[in-house]
Amino acid sequence: MRATRQGDAVSAALAEVDAFTSAQDLHARLRDMGQAVGLTTVYRHLQVLADRGEVDVLRRDDGETLYRRCTTDNHHHHLVCRHCGRTVEVEGPEIEAWTDRVAAAAGFTDVAHTLEIYGTCTDCAADPG
Protein backbone atom coordinates (compact mmCIF):
# COMPACT_ATOMS: atom_id res chain seq x y z
CA MET A 1 0.00 0.00 0.00
CA ARG A 2 1.21 3.46 -0.87
CA ALA A 3 2.17 5.96 1.77
CA THR A 4 -0.49 8.64 1.87
CA ARG A 5 -1.41 11.48 4.18
CA GLN A 6 -4.69 9.73 4.96
CA GLY A 7 -3.18 6.37 5.76
CA ASP A 8 -0.62 7.94 8.05
CA ALA A 9 -3.31 9.99 9.76
CA VAL A 10 -5.45 6.94 10.49
CA SER A 11 -2.48 5.04 11.92
CA ALA A 12 -1.46 8.05 13.99
CA ALA A 13 -4.95 8.51 15.36
CA LEU A 14 -5.13 4.86 16.32
CA ALA A 15 -1.80 5.11 18.09
CA GLU A 16 -3.10 7.96 20.21
CA VAL A 17 -6.18 6.19 21.49
CA ASP A 18 -6.03 3.52 24.16
CA ALA A 19 -9.71 2.65 23.95
CA PHE A 20 -11.51 0.56 21.37
CA THR A 21 -12.77 3.11 18.86
CA SER A 22 -15.29 3.09 16.07
CA ALA A 23 -14.60 4.14 12.49
CA GLN A 24 -17.01 7.04 12.85
CA ASP A 25 -15.33 8.17 16.04
CA LEU A 26 -11.92 8.07 14.39
CA HIS A 27 -13.32 10.00 11.46
CA ALA A 28 -14.55 12.74 13.79
CA ARG A 29 -11.33 12.70 15.76
CA LEU A 30 -9.28 13.19 12.60
CA ARG A 31 -11.48 16.03 11.50
CA ASP A 32 -11.01 17.70 14.90
CA MET A 33 -7.25 17.24 14.59
CA GLY A 34 -7.34 19.16 11.32
CA GLN A 35 -6.40 15.94 9.52
CA ALA A 36 -9.74 15.35 7.84
CA VAL A 37 -10.01 12.01 6.08
CA GLY A 38 -13.05 10.75 4.21
CA LEU A 39 -15.17 8.29 6.13
CA THR A 40 -14.90 5.74 3.34
CA THR A 41 -11.14 5.99 3.50
CA VAL A 42 -11.11 5.53 7.27
CA TYR A 43 -13.11 2.34 6.83
CA ARG A 44 -10.77 1.14 4.13
CA HIS A 45 -7.63 1.63 6.17
CA LEU A 46 -9.18 0.00 9.22
CA GLN A 47 -10.12 -3.00 7.14
CA VAL A 48 -6.62 -3.36 5.77
CA LEU A 49 -5.07 -3.00 9.21
CA ALA A 50 -7.51 -5.56 10.59
CA ASP A 51 -6.73 -8.00 7.78
CA ARG A 52 -3.07 -7.62 8.52
CA GLY A 53 -3.69 -8.28 12.20
CA GLU A 54 -2.34 -4.88 13.12
CA VAL A 55 -5.52 -3.86 14.88
CA ASP A 56 -7.92 -5.90 16.97
CA VAL A 57 -11.60 -5.84 16.13
CA LEU A 58 -14.55 -5.94 18.47
CA ARG A 59 -18.26 -5.69 17.88
CA ARG A 60 -20.41 -3.70 20.25
CA ASP A 61 -23.87 -4.87 21.26
CA ASP A 62 -25.47 -2.26 19.04
CA GLY A 63 -23.57 -3.54 16.03
CA GLU A 64 -20.90 -0.88 15.76
CA THR A 65 -17.45 -2.24 15.05
CA LEU A 66 -14.58 -1.10 17.26
CA TYR A 67 -10.87 -1.12 16.48
CA ARG A 68 -7.76 -0.91 18.61
CA ARG A 69 -4.04 -1.09 18.04
CA CYS A 70 -2.88 -3.60 20.60
CA THR A 71 0.60 -3.71 22.07
CA THR A 72 1.22 -7.42 21.85
CA ASP A 73 1.19 -9.67 18.83
CA ASN A 74 0.39 -12.69 20.96
CA HIS A 75 -3.10 -14.06 21.17
CA HIS A 76 -4.80 -12.25 24.01
CA HIS A 77 -8.14 -11.09 25.30
CA HIS A 78 -9.54 -7.77 26.41
CA LEU A 79 -10.85 -6.30 29.58
CA VAL A 80 -12.94 -3.44 28.24
CA CYS A 81 -14.58 -0.62 30.16
CA ARG A 82 -18.13 -0.52 28.88
CA HIS A 83 -18.32 3.21 29.61
CA CYS A 84 -15.14 4.69 28.17
CA GLY A 85 -13.73 1.79 26.16
CA ARG A 86 -10.43 1.83 28.03
CA THR A 87 -8.89 -1.58 27.56
CA VAL A 88 -6.46 -3.85 29.34
CA GLU A 89 -4.92 -6.71 27.41
CA VAL A 90 -4.88 -10.03 29.23
CA GLU A 91 -3.45 -13.41 28.41
CA GLY A 92 -4.82 -16.65 29.76
CA PRO A 93 -3.12 -19.82 28.66
CA GLU A 94 -5.54 -21.85 30.77
CA ILE A 95 -8.41 -20.44 28.73
CA GLU A 96 -6.86 -21.59 25.49
CA ALA A 97 -6.26 -25.02 26.96
CA TRP A 98 -9.82 -25.23 28.22
CA THR A 99 -11.45 -24.24 24.93
CA ASP A 100 -9.26 -26.67 23.01
CA ARG A 101 -10.11 -29.46 25.41
CA VAL A 102 -13.86 -28.78 25.27
CA ALA A 103 -13.91 -28.53 21.49
CA ALA A 104 -11.92 -31.73 21.07
CA ALA A 105 -14.26 -33.56 23.43
CA ALA A 106 -17.19 -32.61 21.20
CA GLY A 107 -15.32 -33.62 18.06
CA PHE A 108 -15.02 -30.09 16.71
CA THR A 109 -12.01 -29.22 14.60
CA ASP A 110 -10.52 -26.02 13.26
CA VAL A 111 -11.27 -24.32 16.55
CA ALA A 112 -11.13 -20.65 17.42
CA HIS A 113 -12.76 -18.61 20.12
CA THR A 114 -13.68 -15.13 21.20
CA LEU A 115 -13.53 -13.95 24.79
CA GLU A 116 -14.04 -10.43 25.99
CA ILE A 117 -14.53 -9.20 29.53
CA TYR A 118 -16.63 -6.10 30.12
CA GLY A 119 -16.75 -4.00 33.25
CA THR A 120 -16.46 -0.55 34.74
CA CYS A 121 -12.94 0.78 35.07
CA THR A 122 -11.74 2.61 38.17
CA ASP A 123 -11.99 6.04 36.51
CA CYS A 124 -15.56 5.50 35.39
CA ALA A 125 -16.56 4.03 38.75
CA ALA A 126 -15.22 7.19 40.44
CA ASP A 127 -16.88 9.56 38.01
CA PRO A 128 -20.16 8.10 36.76
CA GLY A 129 -20.85 11.02 34.46
Partner DNA sequence: GCCGATAATGAAAACGATTGTCAATCCTCC
Partner DNA sequence: GGAGGATTGACAATCGTTTTCATTATCGGC
The closest of 62, 56, 68, 64 to 17, measured between CA atoms, is 68
CB-facing half-sphere around the CA of 126: CA atoms within 13 A: 3
Which member of 23, 80, 81, 121 binds DNA (CB under 7 A)?
A: 23
Query: Which of a second copy, DNA, none does residue 117 bind to, with CB < 5 to 8 Å depending on kind?
Result: a second copy
When asked if residue 54 is in the footprint of DNA (CB under 7 A), the reply is: no
When asked if residue 1 is in the footprint of DNA (CB under 7 A), the reply is: yes
Query: Which of DNA, a second copy, none does residue 94 bind to, with CB < 5 to 8 Å depending on kind?
Result: a second copy
Asked if residue 25 lies in contact with residue 13, where contact means CB atoms within 8 angstroms, the answer is no
Q: Write out the DSSP string of 55-103.
A: SEEEE-TTS-EEEE--S--S--EEEEETTT--EEEE--HHHHHHHHHHH
Interface with DNA by CB under 7 A: which residues?
A: 1-7, 22-24, 36-41, 43-45, 47, 63-65
Interface with a second copy by CB under 8 A: which residues?
A: 59, 61, 63, 79, 81, 88, 90, 92, 94-95, 98-99, 102-103, 106-122, 125
